[in-house]
Amino acid sequence: MHTYDWIVVALYFTAIGGVAWYAIRQDRGTTDDYFLAGRNLGWFVIGASIFASNIGSEHLVGLAGSGCTDGVALAHYELHAWCLLVLGWVFVPFYARSRVFTMPEFLERRFSATNRYVLSVISLVAYVLTKIAVGVFAGGIVFRTLMPEARLEIGGLVLDSFWVGSILAIVLTGAYTVIGGLRAVAYTEAMQTVVLVVGSALVTFFGLRALGGWGELRTVLGSDAFNLWKPLIPEGVEGTWEPVLEAGRMAWYFNGDFPWAGMLLCAPIIGLWYWCTDQYIVQRTLGAPNQREARRGTIFAAGLKLLPVFIFIIPGMIGLALAQSGRSAAMADALIGANGEVLVGQCQAAFPLMVQTVLPVGVRGLVVAGLLAALMSSLAGVFNASSTLFTMDLYSKFKPQASQQQLVWTGRIATVVMVVVGLLWVPVIQGGQGLYYYLQSVSGYLAPPIFVVFFFGVFMKRLNAKGCLAALLSGFSLGLFRLGVDTLPKLNPEFAYSPGSLLWIVHNTYFQYYSLLIFFVSAVVMIGVSYATEAPDAKQIEGLTYGTVTDDQRRETRASWDRADVSATILVLIGIVMAYLYFSG
């Protein structure tokens, strides 16, 4: 980092501080203001904030790392921009009419208070295991790569650059998130989106220039790296599919490379859960004044969501190509082993390594600012979502007499506690197979039952509270069971399950296929229990399912969109189709 680079970074923090201070000054101390920005966010801020919250540290570190190891395989998750359109056109009308603060609160309106509590707990667990811990971990990787000599001693305990960066990212982000709430988060994220997109695009540009262009990238890596659809059985892998017989049990297991079957059947479930029902994302649309602004924000975010393939995954692929072609000795030393093999663990640092090696002075500072923007935006979003869930869905129910000020302070305390727990979970991620693989696998274990109760609940008016609760509990139990089975070998590398045992079979079942199992069990349980018990009260579910929407509500929704909204939606869909066609051969 040159002096000019540090000046650019300093200017970035100054601008962030100014925007955060402006947002904090607008806060009137009410729960509406703190948790939903006074329900006054415009479509541009909503869309940019959704994008910045999603494109966090796990993308810069994890997506570039996956591009280095797996090519464009994970572009499937980024091309789920269409899920945002589902949020805007299908779910926004229900959320806007209900005037809820949280997704569990909507579930209470549709089903029961018990389901609200269960979903709140599931969501908080998911945030600790994925978004908070992953954000902290990725922040540590970035700092360790860019400033490897950083050290901090606290009472005889020496922290290396990884932990210095992790803690610093939390402190800087928490400072304005805890004080300013959603308004501070959304306003700063809108600015961070610009820095993030421009900075990451510069990495792709200078990386391709150093390599010799797009054609050289395809030549060095080969056509398979540019194919979204990976085979069920990777070439050269033996024994991938085989029956395992042990004490009368048989299972088909697969440890593959994001096979097409899993990406086609499982990935959309995770995508629709994340974009349409996750508090972390949907909270921005809840902060809109009406359906029109919320929907336009989701369309704008969907358009932005087409960029990550080219500004996050491709830089990781460029980094590997620079290493394999010998055009960058620094990249080769970092990513290629003594025998010419790709060092998978080192690929997590592909993006910051690209920043180090291919960017000129001054531009490097802008991209580092973009890195910091991603780290801070993702953490800020989950801090605010976590505090909203805990305060509005749990604390306010047990303390109904709490004042507005007490609720706001409770949210701030909840944020601090979640951060500490997330820090404690980081060692588990360090023992995993890769940051983005870890993120998608844990999401795959926790998402299916939530997807089932929301989507089935909106489209099938016969489903009731008992079916919803049974689906949540059974699906969540299966997910936690798999998570526990996977965690033990990570904590103790010498630990191994007995080949052929039930736990061994569960551990070796590819995570996407296990996720599909959770989905089918949750769906069958919800439908079976609902039809075996009494139908829900028609008055309670009025306007909360497609079968119970009134004529006035339909007219209100129809008046909230026009030809411009439809045209923008079609353009986004065309962009998605074109990307699939290009990366499918």
Locate the DSSP E strands across 179-246. 243-246
Position 207: which residue type?
Answer: G
Q: Whole-model pTM? A: 0.80
d(CA 585, CA 576): 15
Tally of CB atoms within 10 A around 566: 12
Report yes or no: 245 and 501 within 8 Å, Cβ to Cβ. no
3-state secondary structure of 52: helix
* Both structure tokens of 120: 């709140």
Report yes or no: 132 and 379 within 8 Å, Cβ to Cβ. yes
The closest of 283, 311, 310 to 298, measured between CA atoms, is 283
Vertex 395, ends 394 and 400: CA angle to 5°? 110
d(CA 337, CA 346): 10
Length of the chain: 585
193 contact partners, CB below 8 Å, separation of at least 6? 48, 49, 51, 52, 55, 304, 373, 377
Measured in whole angstroms, the distance separating CA 536 from the mean position of its chain's CA atoms is 33
pLDDT in the model for residue 38: 56
pLDDT in the model for residue 561: 92
* Both structure tokens of 397: 């129910």
Do the strands 249-252 and 243-246 form a parallel or antiparallel pair, or are they unpaired? antiparallel
- Per residue of the chain (585 residues), give pLDDT as tens: 678 887 887 887 788 778 777 766 666 555 556 555 556 778 988 888 888 777 766 667 778 888 888 888 778 888 889 999 999 999 999 988 888 888 888 899 999 989 988 888 888 877 776 777 666 666 666 667 666 666 766 666 676 666 676 666 666 666 656 665 666 666 777 777 787 788 888 889 999 998 989 989 988 888 888 888 776 655 544 444 444 444 333 344 444 567 777 788 888 998 899 899 988 788 888 888 889 999 999 999 999 998 888 888 898 899 889 888 888 888 888 888 777 777 777 777 788 888 888 888 878 887 777 776 666 666 766 777 777 777 877 777 777 787 767 777 787 787 777 667 666 665 655 544 456 667 777 888 889 999 999 999 999 999 999 999 999 999 999 999 998 888 887 777 777 888 777 888 888 788 888 999 999 999 999 999 999 999 998 888 888 898 888 899 999 999 999 999 999 999 999 999 999 898 886
pLDDT in the model for residue 146: 65
pLDDT in the model for residue 283: 82
User: 222 exposed, middle or buried (CB, 10 Å; 0-12, 13-18, 19+)?
Assistant: exposed
Report yes or no: 2 and 146 within 8 Å, Cβ to Cβ. no
* Both structure tokens of 419: 């951060």
Vertex 263, ends 258 and 265: CA angle to 5°? 140
Residues 514-552 as b/e (b if ≥16 CB within 10 A, e otherwise) read: bbbebbebbbebbbebbeeeeebeeeebeebbeeebeee
CA atoms within 13 A on the CB side of 184: 26
**Architecture of the 3-229+246-582 domain:** Up-down Bundle (1.20)
CA atoms within 13 A on the CB side of 278: 27
